[in-house]
Amino acid sequence: MAMPSRLHLLSLAALAFAGVVAPDDAFAQGFPPVVPTPAQVRPAVDQAITQLMAAPKVQKVLDALKADHARTVDDLKMLTEIEAPPFKEQKRAEAFLARLRALGLADAKIDAEGNVIGLRKGSGGGPKLVVTAHLDTVFPAGTDVKVKERDGKLYAPGISDDTRALTVLLSWLKALNDSDVQTVGDLLFVASVGEEELGNLRGMKRLFADHLDIDGMVGLEPVPDGGVLILGTGSHRHEVTFKGPGGHSYAAFGQVPSAIHAMGRAIAKIAEVRTPASPKTTFTVGTVSGGTSVNTIAPDAKMAIDIRSDAMAPLLETEKKILATIDESVAEENRRWNVDTLSASARLIGDRPGGMTPASSAIVETAVRANTAFGQQTLLSGASTDANVPMSLGIPTIVIGGGGKTGGFHALGEWIDVTEAWKGAQNSLVTVLGLVGVQGVSQPLLEKRAPRSR
């Protein structure tokens, strides 16, 4: 889960996910979700989840998850203690791949971007659902990732975001295999790279470019029980550099354009850009720097721009307006001094697509109904995660939790309390099984889509 983006969430419920407010408090205090939770679900969803919860075979899987708890915690410690800084996920990927293979996905592999991918085929004719967790953490190489136990909690950088989720994927696989459960649709197990920060979701971008037949995705993140992320705010970031010849403020005056003046012209125009309130679309020039000295016509200036939106169309439209101000401003500054010696260039430094899964979609209703089965009220919220990629493609996608109480993400004090964490793993697996269906028990709730074209 990308922290800075998580703060997108607007609602203080977001802070609950960040561990600032305990999730229960967040719910108790009635913080508004991004959209209301559906009061009812369609009959097919209700029927499928009812069938699953009643099926002895499914009950056996859920019991297996509970019984696997201690082993899962061992996996958690093992994987957490393998560093996985941005762009350096390989060692952890290899350890995860070895586990996937040992647990029955012999053909699992690491793709060209570094994602670990293993397919558990269904009985046929069903949808293909990706279930994911991300390998990378925000922590640089050399961070102390030794797991420490204190006051009933496990402390270590990255332990809850997102290593717990990696172990839930493994536990699901083991329980399904040990209980001989045959899903109708395919499950594509993915441990992704590049979810955090400058990774810019490179793992997911590659996955969805390589696999055009994915019908839906369930991402696992340290979301508290009952939480369902359906909004993935997209963001594009640009660093814009202005360059001119520079010169003495008095001697060269009138002959030389100013990189700072051109940038100021651009910022003034950007400050007046208008964006829709819904889908919420925002922008800011977050940082500026430039110039040599007070008495030098600036030869250089630089600014970093952040543009975000809950939907791709207004994101791209706002970006277009903002980038247009750069060229206009350069032209104005050159015209002011009758020269052509000033130029500017923009570099994309952040690229997270975005989108939203409708609250009324089957995938969301499935999660809502599964939550109900586990006594959890649903909160529909948003964050910037791997899910942004499929959401931007219109592929049904949700992000849910894998159990445990968590907090301190992106800080050295990150922690997880694994007490009864299996309950979260059970709850989310029922959602997944509802979507792909279980042979002899329920039909898939996720629809097969026409394959995307390249």
Write out the residues near a second copy by the rule CB under 8 A.
Answer: 4-5, 7-10, 14, 233, 235, 237, 248-251, 253-254, 258, 260-272, 277, 280, 282-298, 301, 303-306, 308, 332-333, 336, 349-350
The distance of closest approach from Cβ of residue 285 to a second copy in the complex, given in angstroms and rounded to an integer, is 5
Name the residue nearer to a second copy (CB basis): 153 or 261. 261
Cβ–Cβ < 8 Å for 180, 120: no
**CA 283-410-348 angle, 5° bins:** 35
The distance of closest approach from Cβ of residue 161 to a second copy in the complex, given in angstroms and rounded to an integer, is 18
The distance of closest approach from Cβ of residue 331 to a second copy in the complex, given in angstroms and rounded to an integer, is 13
Instruction: Say how far apart CA 430 and CA 442 lie, in whole Å.
Output: 11
One-letter amino acid for residue 82 of the chain? I
Instruction: Please name which of 88, 142, 97 lies closest in space to residue 116, comparing C-alpha atoms.
Output: 97
Asked whether the CA dihedral 432, 436, 442, 447 is positive or negative, the reply is positive
Max CA-CA distance within the chain?
Answer: 87
One-letter amino acid for residue 44 of the chain? A
- Distance between alpha carbon 70 and the CA centroid of its chain, in Å? 28
Name the residue nearer to a second copy (CB basis): 4 or 104. 4
Neighbours of 321 (CB within 10 A): 17
Instruction: Say how far apart CA 286 and CA 67 lie, in whole Å.
Output: 50
Cβ–Cβ < 8 Å for 201, 399: no
Name the residue nearer to a second copy (CB basis): 293 or 453. 293
Name the residue nearer to a second copy (CB basis): 49 or 315. 315
The distance of closest approach from Cβ of residue 376 to a second copy in the complex, given in angstroms and rounded to an integer, is 26
The length of the chain is 454
One-letter amino acid for residue 228 of the chain? V
The distance of closest approach from Cβ of residue 284 to a second copy in the complex, given in angstroms and rounded to an integer, is 4
DSSP state of 442: B
The distance of closest approach from Cβ of residue 398 to a second copy in the complex, given in angstroms and rounded to an integer, is 21
Name the residue nearer to a second copy (CB basis): 196 or 225. 196
**CA 168-171-173 angle, 5° bins:** 110
Name the residue nearer to a second copy (CB basis): 376 or 384. 384
The distance of closest approach from Cβ of residue 294 to a second copy in the complex, given in angstroms and rounded to an integer, is 4
Cβ–Cβ < 8 Å for 376, 426: no
Q: Which two tokens stand for residue 385?
A: 């995660």
The distance of closest approach from Cβ of residue 322 to a second copy in the complex, given in angstroms and rounded to an integer, is 12
Name the residue nearer to a second copy (CB basis): 319 or 333. 333
Element (H, E) at 287: strand 281-290
